[in-house]
Amino acid sequence: MAMSIPGSVGAGTDQPTEKFRQEHVSIKEHLDHLSKMTGNLPGQDASAQRDTMKKVVIFLKDHSKPHAEWEEKVLYPAVDERAGPRKNEEDILLPILDRTMTPEQFEREIMKKSEH
């Protein structure tokens, strides 16, 4: 099952980063679960160990990889473009966090990149 990639501002929220935050909460929950599963590996027989590791690989391929690829393809270029040369990520992210950029402006910036 592939992870949904954030594409718009979360419904009912005024935070333009809400979808990203929800996605990261979900990933962290899955990683906690995987940590518990892999912690049980030493007590499992070889067949159960293989099954556990298959589940870990599936999660990484179906969830973490698409999420990271989307950030690299869409989010980071949008930050780079907006920041311009010699600026760091704080110069672009702080206006968003300080709410000097509206949710609509944030969404437009991100969606411009996802259309390419």
Q: Where are the domains of the chain?
A: 18-114
Question: Among 95, 98, 105, 114, which Cα is nearest to 87's?
Answer: 95
Residue 57's pLDDT is: 93
Collect all residues with Cβ–Cβ distance below 8 Å to 36 and sequence separation of at least 6.
none
Residue 24's pLDDT is: 85
Collect all residues with Cβ–Cβ distance below 8 Å to 90 and sequence separation of at least 6.
none
Distance CA 50, CA 67 (A): 25
Is the pTM above the cut of 0.75? no
Residue 96's pLDDT is: 60
Task: Tell me if 59 sits within 8 A of 34, measured CB to CB.
Answer: yes
Distance CA 27, CA 35 (A): 12
For residue 96, count other CB atoms closer than 10 A to its CB: 19
Task: Tell me if 79 sits within 8 A of 89, measured CB to CB.
Answer: yes
Per-residue confidence of the chain (116 residues) as pLDDT tens digits? 444 444 443 445 667 778 778 888 888 898 999 999 999 999 999 999 999 999 999 999 998 898 889 888 888 888 777 766 656 666 666 666 555 666 677 677 766 656 65
Question: Among 21, 2, 16, 12, which Cα is nearest to 78's?
Answer: 16
